[in-house]
């Protein structure tokens, strides 16, 4: 979030200082692409959190059903024996992450990490080669 705010403030400062020029500079392109990478990383983070929550909730539902069936079988046995059923409260384990959920989210995060780095390297290569080629071209001077 700090990177996004900082890049936005840099863009505002640059545009305010060059109000008379309405052209897109190389620095503008670089900052806009960097901002897109930051926004994409934040979207990926939010998507992974949502996926993790869905996977945990789905896993907890199965665990609750198993625990309920186990508790009912215990209650049947105690009723048959004539004793009062034990009061076992099911603990809500939504905050616990199983190994499968962690592995799935980690696998996705690793793939996105490689994808983001590859995309940034491609962007950097294209950006800098284009910039160098444009800088090496002779400019026409008017006299």
d(CA 118, CA 110): 12
**29-61 pLDDT per residue, tens:** 888 898 899 889 999 999 988 888 887 777 666
**Given this model, what pLDDT does residue 110 score?**
93
Flag whether pLDDT at 85 surpasses 80. Answer: no
**Given this model, what pLDDT does residue 54 score?**
83
**Given this model, what pLDDT does residue 92 score?**
46
Higher per-residue confidence, 11 vs 124 = 124
**Structure-token pair, residue 56:** 């945990």
* pTM score: 0.59
Residue 92 three-state SS: coil
Higher per-residue confidence, 136 vs 67 = 136
Q: CA 39, 40, 44, 45 torsion: positive or negative?
A: negative
**94-134 pLDDT per residue, tens:** 445 677 778 888 899 999 999 999 999 999 999 999 988 88
Asked whether the beta carbons of 48 and 108 are under 8 A apart, the reply is yes
Flag whether pLDDT at 91 surpasses 70. Answer: no
């Amino acid at each position: 979030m700090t990177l996004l705010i900082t890049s936005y403030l840099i863009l505002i400062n640059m545009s305010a200082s060059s109000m008379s020029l309405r052209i897109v500079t190389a620095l503008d392109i670089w900052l806009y692409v960097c901002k897109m990478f930051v926004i994409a990383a934040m979207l990926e983070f939010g998507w992974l959190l949502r996926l993790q929550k869905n996977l945990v909730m789905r896993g907890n539902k199965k665990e609750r059903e198993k625990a309920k069936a186990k508790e009912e079988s215990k209650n049947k046995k105690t009723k048959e024996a004539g004793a009062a059923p034990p009061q076992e409260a099911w603990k809500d384990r939504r905050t616990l992450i199983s190994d499968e959920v962690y592995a799935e989210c980690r696998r996705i995060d690793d793939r996105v990490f490689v994808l983001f780095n590859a995309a940034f390297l491609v962007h950097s290569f294209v950006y800098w080669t284009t910039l160098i080629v444009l800088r090496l071209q002779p400019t026409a001077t008017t006299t």
